[in-house]
Amino acid sequence: MKSRLAVLLIASLALGGIASSATAQESFYEETFSLYGYIVNFFNANLYADDWRITGSDYGNILYGRLKGDWNPGDNLSFHMELDYNASVGNLNPGSTIQSASVDHLWGSVNLGRFDIQFGKLPIAWGAGYFFNPTSKATTIPFIESVSEETPGTVGIVPSVSFLDGFLSIQGYVALQDRSHSSSLLGNTGSWSNLPFGVKLNGIISSFDVSAGWIKEVFYISESDEFYRRHYGTADFVGAIWNFGVYGEAALKTWDESKEKLAFEYDPFLDLLDACVGFDYFIPIVDIDARMEYFHQGSGVTDPGKYEENFAKLISGEQLVLAEDYVLIYLERSFLDYFSISATGFVNLNDGSLGIFPELSGEPYGNFLVGLGAMLFLGDEGSEFDMQDPAVYLRCKLSF
Amino acid sequence: MNQTMKIAALATVLILATVTLAFTQEDALQIIREVERRQSTETSKAELSMLVYPDAGDSGNVREFKVISYGRGEEDSYMQFIEPRSIKGLSILSREGDQWVYFSSTGRVRKIAGKSKKQSVRGVGGDFSYEDLSAGDWEEKYDFRVSSSDSRQWVLEGIPKEKDPVYSRILIAIDKERYLATKIEYYTEEEGHYKDLEMSEIKQMGGREVPTRMVMRNYDKNSMTVIITHAMQHDVPIDDKYFNPTRFYK
């Protein structure tokens, strides 16, 4: 039988002789060109505390705008662009420029039956995880991003081919720039060895989507002016067990081109593995959406005394966090359809420090979203989150 | 009455009850199949508005969404939200009981699984859950029996076949003359009588008659969602990519 909504929509097909029936205009929606987007204003106040007493504070603000455009000149052709603008002041200014604008996405798509190809500057967002994506090796995405959820565009080519009516497919990408997207990377870097790529085989098995693949990651290190070139075997899955949605993904380093030998020969297995596994569950009695995710970062360290070695990797985006093992718990309760209260707890399992991010958000009017939240950090001296200052923020987003 | 007669009477009653039950189930199945047969279409396209009333008693507090919906074969459907701009591009693919959602804000596809199917679509709200919008075969998901019947309609009771379903029971009212579902009542273990869906305002669209107004009332939240069909086409070409889990969002 048809999907239920479709059932309801067409539930009276083939029935004649209804005297009261009326004839409707059969116009059909076609939008070949459209412009839309949003602006976000994110105001942040850092609170400096000593033994739970606030000793000072300062503020920062980010104004972020994103203009999106779609053009569909034919059934099998489409074009998409996204321009962004960022003005950062106060404690949110990274120290370089106050404002910047860029073309973040600019791509075309050609659909040729079972084969399609996208090319240009486009988001390559692999992975099944919600908070961490160890198989996403085409670009860096900050772990805590309160302003925009967008996946940065990477210049590249993304082909895919599907079989068995989509139950089996091969997806791939060739990126024409390294993962760092470094603006300090100048000159001719067009060595074939610096060409990142990924390929994976996706399948749908019962209620599970699974994939297995191979990725070459290339990352430019500006401090040493060199490229890391690493190969990974990858896998991910997403599906349901009983009433739990479950998911996971893993990237296992197999080969580092600079070392010219198999990774297993010089590093223990857990140091080669980036993986996340998680579940979501809707708790019916209290209507709470719950999610829990464990993340293992092979290149992280377990001894807080060695965090300093990883700072540069954190700043460059090569690593998301400093340590090796984390658990993230997310709880959200919605009310009146367009308002919610949520809390995210982020625990470093290696040093016991944690971050707690409560937020109250809502959409008082269509296209206008407002969120009020806080970032609180707890941990022993020298732990990862002990180094963070608490903050409160107000975020407003207006879509157009 | 001697012992033998008592046993014979009891056996007769049991046989009659079994036969009656078998006929009732058989009738229900035939009705469902006839509804299904009359709905059969290769493909369909629809333009919809979804009006969400967070408080059913406050008609001034309403959110409007515009949706394009495609259907293919017996179980596949695709929906794309056009308005409001805050969620433009949000797409839902339902296929053979599985669902995938593309969030245009993150560029990611998420599979909807487990109890999450009871929730409304993130960013949209309202009273249609992922489960309500999902593909699936009523006959495969529910055991039906005729709960009641009068000169105008049958009421079929559906009991889910799977363990831990989203709905513990549904009641479907079917117009006898048209073989048209006019109302569905949804029950859950937690909330009891949870929601009602009513279909009305039948109009000619794409050469067929379609209920163009669907009202879902949620008794747990005291909210209401109305779906209005503005236009519909049947048996028109639709690109297979809209029903492909790895391509529907491209």
This model of the complex carries an ipTM of 0.81
Pairing between strand A22-23 and B192-205?
Answer: parallel
Assigned token pair, A160: 């895919």
Evaluate whether A295 touches A276 at the Cβ level (below 8 Å): yes
Q: How far off is chain A from B22, nearest CA to CA, in Å?
A: 23
Measured between CA atoms, how close is B21 to chain A, in angstroms?
Answer: 24
- The pLDDT tens digits for A18-36 are 333 334 445 667 778 899 9
Q: At residue A2, does pLDDT exceed 50? A: no
A13 pLDDT more than 50? no
For chain A positions 216-245, those within 8 Å of chain B (CB to CB) are 238-245
Out of B107, B164, B211, the one facing A12 most closely (by C-beta) is B211
Distance CA(B17)–CA(A214), nearest Å, equals: 62
Q: What is the pLDDT of residue A20?
A: 33
Give A232 to chain B, closest Cα distance, Å: 21
**In one letter, which amino acid is A304?**
P
| CA gap A103, A145 in Å, rounded | 19
Give the residue from B17, B29, B33 showing the smallest Cα distance to B158: B29
Q: Sorting pLDDT into bands at 50, 70 and 90, what band is B68?
A: very high
Report CB contact under 8 Å: A10, B116. Answer: no
Q: Which of B2-6, B83-87, B179-183 has the lowest mean pLDDT?
A: B2-6
Q: Is B62's pLDDT higher than 50?
A: yes
| Of residues A396 and A33, more confidently modeled | A396
Query: Does B36-243 carry CATH code 3.40.50.300?
Result: no
Most confident of A138-147, A210-219, B10-19, B113-122: A210-219
| pLDDT: which is higher, A187 or A245 | A245
Q: Do A160 and B247 touch (CB under 8 A)?
A: yes
> Which of A30-34, A139-143, A328-332, B17-21 reaches the highest mean pLDDT?
A328-332
Asked whether residue A12 carries a pLDDT value surpassing 70, the answer given is no
Q: Using the beta-carbon criterion (under 8 Å), do B246 and A169 form an inter-chain contact?
A: yes
Res B114: pLDDT: 64
Rounded to an integer, the average pLDDT of A41-49 is: 92
CB pair distance less than 8 Å for A11 and B181: yes
Residues on chain A touching B231 (C-beta within 8 angstroms) = 24-29
Q: Contact A1/B136, CB-based, under 8 Å?
A: yes
Does the pLDDT at position B7 exceed 80? no
Q: How far apart (Å, rounded) are the C-alpha atoms in residues A148 and A132?
A: 16
Mean pLDDT of B26-51: 86
Q: What is the pLDDT of residue B135?
A: 53
User: Mean of the pLDDT values across residues A236-258?
Assistant: 92
Q: Is the pLDDT of residue A10 over 50?
A: no
How close is the nearest chain A Cα to the Cα of B167, in Å? 12
Residue A215, pLDDT above cutoff 80: yes
| Nearest chain B Cα distance for residue A29, angstroms | 7
In tens, the pLDDT along A271-300 reads 999 999 999 998 878 889 999 999 999 999
Comparing alpha-carbon positions, the chain B residue that sits nearest to A171 is B246
Tell me the per-residue pLDDT of B152-198, one tens digit each, with 9 for 90 and over: 999 999 999 887 788 899 999 999 988 888 999 999 888 899 999 99
CA dist A217 and A316 (Å) reads 15
Question: What pLDDT score was predicted for residue A44?
Answer: 94
Say what the pLDDT of residue A87 is. Answer: 94
Across the interface, of B178, B223, B244, the residue whose CB is closest to A166 is B244
What pLDDT does residue A15 have? 28
Q: Is A29 on the interface with B (CB under 8 A)?
A: yes
Q: Is the pLDDT of residue B12 over 80?
A: no
Percent helix / strand / coil, chain B, rounded to 5: 25, 45, 30
Is B125 in Cβ contact with A245 (below 8 Å)? no
Please list every residue in chain A whose beta carbon sits closer than 8 Å to the beta carbon of residue B69.
5-6, 9
* Residue whose token pair is 């929509």: A9
Q: Could you give the percent of chain A with pLDDT greater than 70?
A: 92
Q: Grade residue B79 by pLDDT with cuts at 50, 70 and 90.
A: very high
Number of Cβ atoms within 10 Å of the Cβ of A43 = 16
Across B6-16, average pLDDT: 62
Contact A57, A48 (CB under 8 A): yes
What is the distance between the alpha carbons of residues B142 and A171, in angstroms, rounded to a whole number?
Answer: 37
Cross-chain Cβ contact B231/A25 below 8 Å: yes
Work out the minimum CA distance from A195 to partner chain B, whole angstroms.
Answer: 23
The predicted model scores a pTM of 0.82
Lowest mean pLDDT: which of A93-97, A236-240, B233-237?
A93-97
* Chain B residues with beta carbon closer than 8 angstroms to that of A363: 86
pLDDT-wise least confident of A193-197, A348-352, B98-102:
B98-102
